[in-house]
């Protein structure tokens, strides 16, 4: 699964650490998500999408 987390994070002017803090995970988790090395839970995907002001469908693609 590919994602656009980094692009949306940049638009919102957030660092990996800031996004991680807002969704309650470590910065490394955001790094692994952006590198497609980690598959998020549905809750984490929802939380990330909400913070980045987008939908899960727009954020993650197959």
Spans of all domains in the chain = 2-61
**What is the torsion angle, in degrees rounded to the nearest 10, for the CA atoms of residue 49, residue 38, residue 17 and residue 8?**
-40
- pLDDT value, residue 61: 86
Confidence class for position 1, pLDDT limits 50, 70, 90: confident
pLDDT band with cut points at 50, 70 and 90 for residue 18? very high
pTM over 0.85: yes
pLDDT digits (tens, 9 = 90+) for 21-43: 999 999 999 999 999 999 999 99
By the 8 A CB rule, do 44 and 52 touch? no
pLDDT of residue 7: 96
Alpha helices of 1-62 — where are they, by DSSP H?
5-11, 16-23, 27-34, 42-51, 56-59
Architecture category of domain 2-61 in CATH = Orthogonal Bundle (1.10)
Determine the pLDDT at residue 20: 98
């Amino acid at each position: 699964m590919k994602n656009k987390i980094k692009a949306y994070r940049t638009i919102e002017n957030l660092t990996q650490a800031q996004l991680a803090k807002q969704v309650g995970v470590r910065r490394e988790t955001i790094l692994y998500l952006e590198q497609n090395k980690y598959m998020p839970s549905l809750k984490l995907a929802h939380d990330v999408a909400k913070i980045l002001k987008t939908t899960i469908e727009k954020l993650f693609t197959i």
